């Protein structure tokens, strides 16, 4: 029998899923600033809010590696932070550039089942 700690950890949202919304275009990482995504709401497949990005993590090469998403809570209290690979996020920008939406192929419950991010 395999113990839970011995099983490979699956990151929700790591599965490829294409998100498209009317009036929005896919935003490429090199076209984004940290201000565009830091603090942005994160939505699941059905446009349900699953959290918000509280911080971004950079690798030694200076490229984005992870986004820390605060899941649940109310008015910033009682949130559960998790780190997800930035590559698992889909960022869409409104055609006129006025809005950025971040999507992840995961539910709030799936994110809460992940290990808590400790800074």
H or E stretch including 111? helix 108-112
Residue spans of the domains in the chain: they are 9-112
Residue 99 has pLDDT above 60, yes or no: yes
HSE value, Cβ hemisphere, 13 Å, CA-based, for 112: 10
H or E stretch including 25? strand 24-26
Residue 8 has pLDDT above 90, yes or no: no
Region of poorest pLDDT, from 38-42, 74-78, 96-100, 107-111: 74-78
Q: What is the pTM of this model?
A: 0.78
Mean per-residue pLDDT, 23-51: 84
The topology (CATH level 3) of 9-112 is SH3 type barrels. (2.30.30)
Tokens of 31: 């076209």
Can you tell me which residue has the tokens 């709030």?
108
Spatial distance between the Cα atoms of 45 and 56, rounded to a whole number of angstroms:
22
Q: Are 105 and 45 in contact (CB under 8 A)?
A: yes
Mean per-residue pLDDT, 43-53: 90
């Amino acid at each position: 029998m395999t113990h839970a700690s011995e099983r490979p950890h699956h990151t929700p949202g790591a599965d490829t899923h294409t998100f498209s919304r009317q009036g929005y275009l896919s935003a490429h990482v090199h076209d984004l600033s940290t201000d565009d995504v830091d603090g942005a709401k994160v939505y699941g497949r059905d446009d349900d809010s699953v959290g918000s990005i509280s911080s971004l993590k950079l690798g030694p090469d200076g490229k984005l590696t992870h986004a820390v998403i605060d899941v649940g809570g109310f008015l910033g209290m009682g949130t559960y932070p998790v780190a997800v690979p930035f590559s698992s996020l889909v960022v869409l920008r409104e055609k006129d550039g006025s809005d950025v939406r971040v999507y992840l192929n995961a539910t709030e419950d799936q994110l809460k089942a992940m290990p808590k991010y400790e800074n």
